[in-house]
Amino acid sequence: MVQIPTTDGPADAFVAHPEDGGRHPGVLMYADAFGIRPTIREMARELAGHGYYVLVPNFFHRQGPTPVVDLPEHIGEADRAALVEQVMPLIKDLTRERFQGDAEAYLDFLGAQPEVGAGPVAVTGYCIGGLLATRTAAARPEQVAALAAFHAPVAADGPESLRPLTAETHFGHAETDLGPQDLEALNRSLDAVGIAYTSEIYPGTVHGFTMSDTDAFDPAGLQHHWDRLLPLLARTLANG
């Protein structure tokens, strides 16, 4: 764990990177609304094992260090409603204006680490973290070369919010989150931006399909996610 200075105090964050003494491309990873926990750490370590420095900030840091919400070891459907009720006020409190400063602080911290190589970085995220990843890539297009978001409300800010994007992008949607018509509308917006992208519905998945500690977990969906994410990073980041 590390501490990232922000205008509203330090944000705690989890870091994973190869222990070889070298410099590696940076990846800013945003967790889902349930935050940093063993499943997220495992995913960050998996990504780091492919040669990346991975930074996972606690974006609810204003409410305290992680874990901000007490979580069971496995998040079943019986637990989800009560947990969502706890995190929704935190999401509403994280306004776009507050998050803008946080995103810049996270990227500045990532770029300043001695283990991170010079050059562009990638941003990825899950659920609400996918929306935060999209906002981050739009805020710093000159620094972010790759964007990936999974089962995320990436269109929540409207099509105009996507216009600043220059990063190569992948959006992986759950079947329960996005219908074919919504996907078509989103992809038209991405076409208008003119970036290289893929945006697809993962067959047979429900919201949260990448998270192995929830009832939503789909092993094939998680593997599909890696099959999209890793080549994207390899194409866009130096030494990826």
Cβ count near 220 (within 10 Å)? 12
> How many CA atoms lie within 13 Å of 46's alpha carbon, on the beta-carbon side?
14
Which of 61, 170, 207, 225 is an active site residue?
A: 207
Instruction: Give me the pLDDT at residue 240, please.
Output: 43
Mean pLDDT of the chain: 96
Which of 32, 151, 173, 177 is an active site residue?
A: 177
CB-count exposure of residue 92 (10 Å: 0-12, 13-18, 19+):
exposed
**177 is a catalytic site residue:** yes
pLDDT truncated to tens, each residue of the chain (240 aa)? 999 999 999 999 999 999 999 999 999 999 999 999 999 999 999 999 999 999 999 999 999 999 999 999 999 988 999 999 999 999 999 999 999 999 999 999 999 999 999 999 999 999 999 999 999 999 999 999 999 999 999 999 999 999 999 999 999 999 999 999 999 999 999 999 999 999 999 999 999 999 999 999 999 999 999 999 999 999 999 754
pLDDT tens digits for 178-225? 999 999 999 999 999 999 999 999 999 999 999 999 999 999 999 999
Nearest to 53 by CA among 104, 120, 128, 105: 120
The domain locations on the chain are 2-236
CATH annotation of 2-236: 3.40.50.1820
Which of 127, 151, 224, 225 is an active site residue?
A: 127
**127 is a catalytic site residue:** yes
Cβ contact 210:222 at 8 Å = yes
Instruction: Give me the pLDDT at residue 224, please.
Output: 98
